[in-house]
């Protein structure tokens, strides 16, 4: 009986393995190889150039700018998802009246494409008819109005806010699921003991939310690191590269400049960064979890 | 003391519900812009913007979008990609998840890591090789690359969700069937899959939404209108007529309708899919 099971396991796995290998594993390995060549769209052949692309990257100010933007995005993305996602989820968990309708509204951004999210926020940030400037003018603060997406000092944070609008909905859902898993008797006991809401949150809610917190952080990390769509739609990486992330830079090198080797080096760098960041985060949470037990 | 506090908390729930409703409506205000734009003419927009309360509304943008042959091609393409890719990725994820949760061949923990780690691969690293692969096999600029890529890339999430679900299916059920002489595919088809309908529904909802909303792969793997999905179509429209805000907003709304409908119809499944994929992972 046992041997029959093994036999079937590999039959069941054959198709998924083949397709996953073709679409995910193979291309990833191939990109590693590409990053060591001078491949481009036009030349039929390419030469092995060792680490030349990576050396060039280290001297490329566009790369450092993109790395900085990606880092800011990731940092802000994680903090905002955690804090606002948690506060809104806590609010939702206490809501009885119209809770279904309220949830539907707050989760709706998740049904939208980042392309549409970009268009949505375009009408908030525009200079002439944008909502922010309209409100500023209404309260007489005309001097503060600006073209939020074209101004180098506000472009990046503006796009991050638009992106976070959807990301917060995601972390809200995960926190809400985590909150409903907080043992009710524990909460009741804390309430009976007269624990203040703040104490309840600190000593009962947050410890039992640990798994949800780690999921929210990892999702925010991965989504922020690979950010592409919304930048492409809203600013194309501009003004002056102020919103260009590593993913956008890699796309531009590949499909605008057709430097496949150089673009692959950027993509590989992004991949390694992601593996290091997510990997060390998972390692740390695992260790923290082991200490708790 | 405690009981009065509890009573106060109970009493406070009505104002609190109203407070949360206001928060939710404020949260949705950004989306209102696109909605308003879609009902205004471009002249009106260039005169008064979109947030003005006055002015008359029009359905012209929707009529224009609806009667445009491009829109129909884009929408049809999006369905032709999203439906098969959803079905294939869910089937393959079910197979993998079942093997990893129940059949557990040698190397299960490695295989789990192998499949699930795809969730953490930035798609950018796949683009050039995939672009070259589909060029080489002459499928570039058709719908096939998108169907194949989404089916393969989706295996990671589908495996994770289904593995987490199958973990909770009692082994006794499967063993009893084995004793009765059922075959492995028979057990999967007749016992396990019927039990998994809720999980499959949740996963399909999620996958459909992700694939429908994707922008990166159609951008890379197709060029002509006949092979473009609607999310890239919205952008093409911006390129064609730079001031067609009204029509573009209307197309954004039309393009979002399928996922919004799926979201409202299957909200429970949608949330269940996200949380079983995430929280227990």
Express each pLDDT in A125-164 by its tens digit.
988 888 899 899 889 888 888 899 999 999 999 999 999 9
Nearest-angstrom CA–CA distance, B94 and B226: 32
pLDDT for res B96: 96
Residue A292 pLDDT: 52
Q: What is the pLDDT of residues A2-16, one digit of tens each?
A: 445 678 899 999 999
Q: Which residues pair with A48 in a beta bridge?
A: A37
- Cα separation, B173 vs B56, in Å, equals 64
Predicted confidence (pLDDT) at residue B152 exceeds the cutoff of 50: yes
Integer Cα distance of A153 and A159 in angstroms: 12
Query: Nearest CA of chain B to the CA of A193: how many Å?
Result: 8
How does the average pLDDT of chain A come out, rounded? Answer: 88
pLDDT digits (tens, 9 = 90+) for A46-92: 888 889 999 999 999 999 999 999 999 999 999 999 999 999 998 88
ipTM, 2 decimals? Answer: 0.90
Q: List the 196-235 stretch of B: residues with Cβ below 8 A of A.
A: 209, 212-216, 219-220, 231, 234-235
B124 to A251: CB separation less than 8 angstroms, yes or no: yes
Average per-residue pLDDT in chain B?
87
pLDDT-based confidence at B2, cuts 50/70/90?
very low
pLDDT-wise least confident of A247-261, B43-57, B125-139, B171-185: B43-57
> For the residues B128-140, what does the mean pLDDT come to?
94
Distance CA B275, CA B259 (A): 18
Residue B192 has pLDDT above 60, yes or no: yes
Q: Is the predicted pLDDT of residue B62 greater than 80, yes or no? A: yes
Q: Sign of dihedral through CA atoms B50, B53, B54, B56?
A: positive
Residues of chain B neighbouring A122 (CB-CB closer than 8 A): 33
CA-CA distance, B235 to B231, in Å (whole number)?
A: 7
Minimum mean pLDDT range among A256-265, A278-287, B12-21: B12-21
Plot region of B183 (φ>0 → left; ψ -120 to 50 → alpha; else → beta)? beta
Indicate whether A200 pLDDT > 80: no
Asked whether residue B83 carries a pLDDT value surpassing 70, the answer given is yes
pLDDT at residue B281 in the model = 39
> Residue B27 is nearest to which of A5, A105, A228, comparing CB atoms?
A105
Place of tokens 């911006």: B238
DSSP state of A37: B
Structure confidence at residue A291 (pLDDT): 59
Higher pLDDT, B231 or A186: B231
A283 by Cβ neighbours in 10 Å (0-12 / 13-18 / 19+) ranks as exposed
- The mean pLDDT value for B92-107 works out to 93
Query: Inter-chain contact A4–B184, Cβ cutoff 8 Å?
Result: yes
What does the domain layout of chain A look like in residue ranges? Answer: 72-244
The predicted pLDDT at position A20 comes to 97
pLDDT at B266: 86
- Higher per-residue pLDDT: B80 or B104: B80
Q: Searching chain A, which residue's CA lies closest to the CA of residue B100?
A: A9
pLDDT at B1 over 60: no
Q: What is the pTM of this model?
A: 0.91
Q: How far apart are CA B207 and CA B93, in angstroms?
A: 11
Q: Where are the alpha helices (DSSP H) in chain A?
A: 2-20, 26-34, 52-58, 61-94, 99-107, 114-125, 131-138, 155-180, 184-192, 197-200, 206-208, 210-225, 229-234, 246-255, 260-292
Separation in Å, CA of A152 to nearest CA in chain B: 22
Taking CB atoms and an 8 Å cutoff, what residues of chain B touch A87? none
CATH of A72-244, one of 3.40.50.1820, 1.10.3470.10, 1.10.3720.10, 1.10.1280.10: 1.10.3720.10
Decide if B277 contacts A132 (C-beta within 8 A). no
Query: What are the backbone dihedrals phi and psi of residue A48, each rounded to the nearest 5 degrees, phi first?
Result: -75, 125
Q: Is the pLDDT of residue B84 over 60?
A: yes
Q: Which residues of A touch B93 (CB under 8 A)?
A: 16
């Amino acid at each position: 009986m046992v041997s029959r099971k093994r036999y079937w396991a590999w039959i069941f796995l054959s198709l998924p393995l083949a397709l996953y290998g073709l679409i995910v594993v193979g291309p990833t390995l191939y990109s590693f190889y590409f990053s060591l060549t001078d491949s481009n769209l036009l030349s039929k052949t390419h030469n092995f150039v060792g680490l030349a692309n990576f050396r060039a990257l280290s001297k490329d100010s566009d790369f450092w700018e993109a790395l900085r933007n990606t880092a800011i995005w990731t940092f802000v993305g994680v903090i905002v998802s955690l804090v606002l996602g948690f506060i809104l989820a806590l609010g939702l968990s206490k809501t009885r009246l119209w809770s279904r309708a309220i949830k539907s509204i707050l989760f709706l951004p998740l049904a939208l494409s980042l392309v549409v999210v970009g268009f949505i926020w375009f009408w908030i940030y525009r200079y002439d008819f944008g909502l922010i400037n309209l409100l500023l003018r209404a309260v007489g603060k005309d001097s503060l109005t600006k073209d939020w997406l074209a101004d180098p000092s506000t472009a990046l944070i503006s796009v991050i806010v638009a992106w976070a609008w959807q990301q917060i909905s995601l972390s809200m859902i995960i926190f809400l699921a985590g909150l409903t898993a907080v043992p009710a008797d524990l909460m009741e006991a804390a309430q009976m003991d007269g624990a203040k809401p703040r104490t309840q949150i600190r000593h009962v809610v947050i410890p039992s939310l640990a798994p949800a917190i780690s999921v929210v952080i990892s999702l925010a990390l991965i989504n922020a690191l690979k950010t592409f769509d919304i930048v492409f739609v809203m600013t194309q990486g501009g003004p002056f590269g102020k919103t260009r992330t590593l993913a956008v830079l890699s796309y531009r090198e590949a499909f605008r400049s057709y430097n496949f080797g150089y673009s692959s080096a950027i993509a590989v760098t992004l991949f390694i960064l992601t593996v290091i960041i997510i990997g060390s985060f998972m390692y740390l949470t695992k260790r923290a979890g082991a200490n708790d037990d | 003391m405690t009981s009065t506090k509890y009573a106060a908390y109970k009493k406070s729930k009505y104002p609190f519900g109203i407070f949360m409703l206001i928060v939710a409506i404020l949260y949705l205000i950004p989306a209102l812009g696109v909605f308003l734009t879609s009902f205004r003419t471009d002249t009106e927009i260039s005169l008064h913007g979109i947030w003005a309360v006055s002015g008359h509304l029009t359905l012209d943008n929707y009529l224009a979008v609806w009667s445009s042959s491009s829109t129909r091609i884009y929408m049809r393409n999006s369905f032709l990609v999203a439906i098969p890719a959803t079905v294939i990725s869910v089937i393959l994820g079910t197979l993998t998840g079942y093997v990893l949760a129940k059949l557990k061949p040698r190397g299960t923990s490695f295989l789990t890591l192998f499949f699930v780690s795809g969730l953490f691969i930035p798609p950018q690293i796949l683009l050039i090789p995939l672009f070259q692969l589909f060029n080489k096999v002459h499928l570039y600029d058709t719908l096939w690359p998108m169907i194949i890529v989404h089916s393969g890339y989706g295996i990671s999430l589908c495996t994770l969700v289904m593995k987490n679900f199958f973990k909770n299916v009692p082994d006794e059920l499967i063993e009893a069937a084995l004793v009765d002489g059922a075959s492995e595919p028979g057990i999967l088809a007749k016992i396990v899959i019927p039990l998994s309908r809720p999980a499959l529904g949740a996963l399909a909802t999620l996958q459909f939404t992700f694939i429908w909303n994707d922008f990166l792969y159609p951008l890379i793997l197709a060029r002509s209108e006949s092979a473009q999905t609607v999310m890239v179509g919205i952008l093409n429209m911006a390129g064609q007529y730079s001031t067609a805000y009204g029509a573009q907003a209307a197309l954004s709304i039309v393009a979002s309708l399928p996922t919004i409908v799926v979201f409202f119809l299957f909200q429970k499944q949608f949330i269940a899919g996200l949380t079983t994929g995430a929280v227990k992972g």
